[in-house]
Each structure stands twice: as C-alpha cells, then as structure tokens.
C-alpha cells in the first residue's frame, strides 16, 4: 500500500514522508527502557519486529539504511527481513491482505491472539 501510494500519487510523497518519519521516530521510542518497563516482552517483540520491517522498507525505498539500524541493533533485523519477504511474496492487491496478516501473525506467534471472520 505504501509503495502503491508513493508510485501512483507522487504529489503526496512529501506529505507521506513526513508522516512516515514521525511514525518511525515514535516506533524508535518503543526501544527505550521506559516502554520496556511496563509492556510485556511478547508485545514488545511483536511490535518492534513489525516496526523493523516498516523501517527496513523505508530504508530501502529512500536509500537511507540508518533508519533501520535502531531495530537491527536491538536484534530485530532477521525477523524484519522475514516479514518483508512475506510482503514481497504476497499478492500486492488488497484481496491478499488477510492472508498477509495471517502470515505475519504466524511469524510473530500471534495467531492465538485474533481470528478472521467472514464479512457478514
């Protein structure tokens, strides 16, 4: 979706970048001791793994590898790569979103935390 927005609406790129930069900075705050002090480790791990995938995506897109360094330094580099691979190997259309979510949940051991239901 990010790539789609960026590719099809170049006029929005600056706005999109600002928004992503802000999100990345917020995600980096989760690495710190204050968040670790109150959040359970499985939630921290899942959250930072997804943040790492997000950071790696933009690091590659903007050619600014340093953006992913905080998450790599914290040990989430490999899982970030795995999650990105799942994105690249899935169908880019919105109809594949559910499948992608399920694959990410499997990789992050979150499958017991939710279930998908058919649209009523």
Partner 1 sequence: MSQEYSFSLPYAAFDLELIGLSRADIGSAEYSEKVSEFFTSQFSKFGGRARVILNDTQQTISVTWTKEAAFKDPCKRALELLRSGKIAEAVPLLWAVHHEKPKDTDILYNLGVAHSELGHVEKAIEILSRLVQIDQNHVHGLVALGVANIKLKDLQSGEVFLRRALMLEPENPWALKNLGACFLKQGRAAEAVPVFDAAIKLNSGDIQSILGLGQALEEIDRGQDADAQYQKLISMGGPDHIIDLAKERRTALAHKTMRDRGSFRPDVMMYITGALDKFVGMTRSQIEAIGFEIAILGQRGLDINDPEQKYSLRTLPGKFSGIHLCSIMYAAFKEFAPNEDVGIDFSKEYQAATSMRPR
**Residues in the site for partner 1, rule: CB under 8 A?**
21-22, 24-25, 28-29, 31-33, 36, 62, 64-67, 69-70, 72-75, 77
As measured in angstroms, the least distance from the Cβ of 66 to partner 1 is: 6
Angle ∠(64,17,78) on CA atoms, nearest 5: 45
As measured in angstroms, the least distance from the Cβ of 42 to partner 1 is: 15
CA 39 to chain centre: 19
Contact between residue 29 and residue 71 where contact means Cβ atoms under 8 Å apart? no
Q: Which is nearer to partner 1, 71 or 104 (CB)?
A: 71
Q: Which is nearer to partner 1, 55 or 108 (CB)?
A: 55
Q: What is the DSSP string of 46-93?
A: HHHHHHHHHHHHHHHHHT-GGGGHHHHHTT-HHHHHHHHHHHHHS-SS
Q: Which is nearer to partner 1, 47 or 90 (CB)?
A: 47
As measured in angstroms, the least distance from the Cβ of 53 to partner 1 is: 16
What is the token pair recorded at 86?
Answer: 């799942």
As measured in angstroms, the least distance from the Cβ of 65 to partner 1 is: 8
Q: Which are the contacts of 12, defined by CB distance < 8 A and separation ≥ 6?
A: 5, 6
Q: Which is nearer to partner 1, 41 or 120 (CB)?
A: 41
């Amino acid at each position: 979706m990010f790539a789609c927005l960026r590719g099809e609406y170049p006029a929005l790129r600056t706005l999109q970048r600002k928004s992503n930069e802000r999100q990345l900075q917020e995600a980096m705050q989760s690495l710190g001791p204050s968040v670790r002090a109150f959040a359970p480790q499985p939630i921290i791990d899942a959250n930072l793994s997804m943040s790492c995938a997000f950071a790696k995506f933009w690091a590659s897109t903007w050619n600014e590898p340093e953006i992913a360094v905080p998450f790599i330094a914290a040990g989430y580099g490999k899982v970030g790569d795995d999650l990105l691979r799942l994105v690249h190997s899935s169908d880019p259309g919105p109809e594949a979103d559910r499948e992608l979510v399920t694959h990410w949940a499997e990789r992050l051991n979150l499958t017991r935390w939710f279930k998908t239901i058919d649209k009523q």
